[in-house]
Amino acid sequence: MDKKIRFPGADGLFSFLTAGAHNAWLAAIIRSSNDAIISKKIDGSITSWNPAAERMLGYTEEEMLGESIRKIIPDHLQKEEDEIVASIKAGNPVEHFETERIHKNGKSVAISVYVSPILDEHEKVVGASTIARDLSKEIENRRRIEESEFRFRMLADNISQFCWVADSTGHIFWYNKRWFDYTGTTPEEMDGWGWKSVHHPDHVDRVVEKIQHSWDTGEDWEDTFPLRSKDGEYRWFLSRAKPIYDTDGNIVRWFGTNTDITEERERQEQIRFLMREVNHRSKNMLALIQGIARQTGKKEHPEFIRKFEQRLQALAASQDLLTNMGWRGMTIDDLLDSQLGHLADLKDIQIFSEGEEIRINAHCAQNLGMALHELSTNASKYGALSTDEGKVYVNWSLEHRDGEDAPRLRINWHEEGGPPVTEPDHKGFGTTVINQMCRSAFSGEVTLDYRPEGLFWELVGSPGRGLDLTYEEDQA
């Protein structure tokens, strides 16, 4: 493309804007342009100055016509004008470059400049045309972007986690500095699926299958696996990724993190070891108590010893379950299974249970477990489970009442189809367990009704009492 401007005769070089309809049209374009358009002679004297130049640099056309272009060039950039003049005299345009010019108020204005030679009809260079664009807003935007990018990198590269970004298909194209510091890899090595090279071979196929499912479905991803360091050591990481959507609801990116949980896993394992040891010792103590009781009263009170041993076994079963759950409580369903395990063959035949997944804390689990054990024992000996036709129904739910911040636990046990029920003349320790102990543990109300058609027992706790609410928070 020819970037030289030609005019008919040097004498009419700067009068073309008013010469004829064509030149009038060009003049209108120049005056309406948002870019500053300035023409000058070879000696640098200004011959045209459009309104955009006035807006950009503050000088009017009257103030600048005949003035040297060097008037608006900072002292430290005067050499730049010498180079422009040399290029123009040689007939060569000066391609776009960024520089500064001086506003009338003395402030510096950032601009981009393109300069092309003007030739007369004899192909002689007689001047130059300069097109300048104000870069102030663009440079401010660049500064903000650079500052934003700096803040992001400062955050991303200095958090304790690894973080990464993938495109909509799961192709990972960016990791933070922590990742590369730990793995000792390069961006080229990690591009796309390169991350598989630092995964433990025993886990990588499982990880790939699970994360690919998230890529395909858009579901949040979470997994735990070991990653190899640059020293060859494997450490465990909890890893998560979430999809990022555009305004149309389409996934455009995935943002993921890897959190080192090695020490936490080791602490949890140590805690589990200690809990197992405590559980072992406490069960030894229960066994010792059971042995002492057996030796002391087996002749005089054989029925007492039998019941006492059963209750110790029920307590031990609850304790085993709590130990396996880290003493963080348990679901009612699990508790029911532990206490009615000896009746497992009657489940869904004579014993029916139904309820939502509700977790109760460790203290209340032990008391409720003892109550369920007493109820099942009595049902087996005297109640619905003492016959083949009898049925036991266990139901539980959360009850929400107006004005209460937390729900109440409601659980009931009712029997039918067994022998007719009458209220016993004597109420022993079993009644205390299913009545007073549960009432105290849950700060609630217990109903024990000896209905002729079958025993009915119900517990309604106080708001939030006995519920393991911290479990849901920890999982979140």
Q: Are 11 and 122 in contact (CB under 8 A)?
A: no
Q: Are 360 and 461 in contact (CB under 8 A)?
A: no
Between the alpha carbon of residue 72 and those of residues 103, 104, 107, 127, 340, the distances in Å are 7, 8, 10, 18, 94
Would you write out the chain's pLDDT as a tens digit for each of its 476 residues?
Answer: 455 555 444 344 444 444 455 566 677 777 878 889 999 999 999 999 999 999 999 999 999 999 999 999 999 999 999 999 999 999 899 998 999 999 999 999 999 999 999 888 888 998 999 999 998 888 888 888 888 888 877 777 777 789 999 999 999 999 999 899 999 999 999 998 999 999 999 999 999 999 999 999 999 999 999 999 999 999 999 999 999 999 999 999 999 999 998 877 767 666 555 555 555 455 555 454 545 455 554 555 565 655 555 555 555 555 555 455 554 667 888 888 877 777 778 889 999 999 998 888 877 777 888 788 788 888 888 899 889 999 999 999 999 988 888 899 999 999 999 999 888 877 766 677 788 878 888 888 999 999 999 999 999 999 988 887 554 444 43
Q: Are 393 and 414 in contact (CB under 8 A)?
A: yes
For residue 394, give the 3-state DSSP assignment: strand
Instruction: Please name the residues in contact with 220: beta carbons below 8 A apart, sequence gap of 6 or more.
Output: 214, 240, 241, 242, 243
Does this model's pTM top 0.85?
no
- Beta-bridge partner residues of 236: 226
Q: Tell me what pLDDT residue 343 has.
A: 76
Q: Tell me what pLDDT residue 476 has.
A: 39
d(C-alpha 228, C-alpha 303), whole Å: 62
Q: What is the CA radius of gyration of the chain?
A: 43
Strands 125-134 and 36-41: antiparallel
